[in-house]
Amino acid sequence: MIKRTVEISNEPFHLAVQLDQLKLHRLDGSRDVAASIPCEDIGLVIVDHASVSYSHAALARLIECGAAIVICDRRHLPSGLLLPMAEHTEVVWRLHEQIHASKPTLKQIWRQLVQAKIRGQAANVDDPVVQRRLLTMVRTIRSGDPENFEAQAAKWYWPAWLPDFQRIPENGGWLEPAPFRRDTDGKDSVNSQLNYGYAILRAAVARALVSAGLHPALGIKHANRANAFCLADDFIEPFRPLVDRAVRDLFRSGHMELDRYSKTTLLSLLTTTVNIEGNTGPLMVAFHRLAASYVRCLQGESKTLLIPDWTEPAMLEAVTGDGSCT
């Protein structure tokens, strides 16, 4: 079953629970119920209104049902995440397996994640020269990515990703040409949309990891001691290009702000149909299969992550005519 995503931004509500239903009460004095949703149907709650209030029972029940709760800041970007932590029956064993994972195993897993990310980036650019270079990197990456092809790919990818970025209307005219610059702290509309999309997928990935009994702080490549979601940051890498594609489409269709329409579009990525082992299904469900495959790798039962594929193989094969990376 596909879990529902609840996004609250247009008006303030009080969130309460009654008869296992999440009730959204209006705060206009009427206390009318704007929506009533079964708690067990909810996978993600995103709160982007400063006046929303909660009952403790509502938060506790959502957590019991496996939902993740995302809190947005004054810039409307996700800044906090509340996750269930103690429901998996083998959480202690998972923690032990994560701590004692061998370096060769983690390096091979990181290689697969980077390969999938760069392959997705290649699917997002129109320049065949850049596509070939990126696909060559995919084939060349070694265990652990010691040459840091991930960073090398970014230098080629971002300028080719949105070559028409400079065409932003301003005061009835157009800005001077300037290549797009990816900035994690950027406050411009495109960077804000990217940051929002990444954060939403990060929350969904973290939820899937916790559901599998994994601790999201124990990463593969990411290891910032102040980051409680290093593993989620590792596993989101192959899906960043999926967000990039959606943001580029928003930009080119004239939706240049992080408004309700763009947020709804980015939230819908969680239900994007992806392919995994020849089967298709929504991305949010596929995240759970990805997490389960990581557990099997840690246990030595497999060496391959089941990374959901959202790209179109024919598109990449057309670069050389036979799918090669020459």
Q: What is the pLDDT of residues 163-206, one digit of tens each?
A: 877 555 555 555 555 668 888 777 788 999 999 999 999 999 99
Q: Which domain holds residue 72?
A: 4-82
Last residue of a domain, one of 82, 100, 116: 82
Q: Does some domain include residue 322? A: no
Strands 21-26 and 173-174: unpaired
Q: Does some domain include residue 323? A: no
CATH number at residue 148: 1.20.120.920
**Do 262 and 145 belong to one domain?**
yes
Tens of pLDDT, residue by residue over 54-82, are: 999 999 999 999 999 999 998 888 889 99
What pLDDT shows up at residue 1? 64
**Do 170 and 57 belong to one domain?**
no
**Do 194 and 69 belong to one domain?**
no
Answer whether 189's CB lies under 8 Å from 257's CB: yes
Q: Does some domain include residue 126? A: yes
- Measured CA distances, 273 to 2, 13, 113, 166, 287 (Å): 12, 32, 19, 32, 12
Q: Does some domain include residue 325? A: no
**Do 277 and 180 belong to one domain?**
yes
**Do 20 and 104 belong to one domain?**
no
**Do 42 and 169 belong to one domain?**
no
**Do 213 and 121 belong to one domain?**
yes
Answer whether 196's CB lies under 8 Å from 266's CB: yes
**Do 140 and 269 belong to one domain?**
yes
In this prediction, residue 277 has a pLDDT band, given cuts at 50, 70 and 90, of confident
Last residue of a domain, one of 64, 82, 100: 82
Q: Does some domain include residue 324? A: no
Q: Does some domain include residue 309? A: yes
Which has more pLDDT, 255 or 320?
A: 255
**Do 172 and 212 belong to one domain?**
yes
Q: Kindly report the CA angle at 184 between 183 and 186, in degrees rounded to 5?
A: 55
**Do 73 and 96 belong to one domain?**
no
- What mean pLDDT do residues 144-160 have? 95
Q: Does some domain include residue 326? A: no
Q: 33: exposed, middle or buried (C-beta count within 10 Å: 0-12, 13-18, 19+)? A: middle
Strands 169-170 and 173-174: antiparallel
**Do 254 and 199 belong to one domain?**
yes
Last residue of a domain, one of 37, 55, 82: 82
**Do 29 and 129 belong to one domain?**
no
Answer whether 93's CB lies under 8 Å from 74's CB: no
Q: Does some domain include residue 281? A: yes
Task: Look at the chain and report how many structural domains it folds into.
Answer: 2
- What mean pLDDT do residues 281-303 have? 95
Tens of pLDDT, residue by residue over 225-262, are: 668 899 999 999 999 999 999 999 999 998 988 999 99
Q: What is the pTM of this model?
A: 0.86
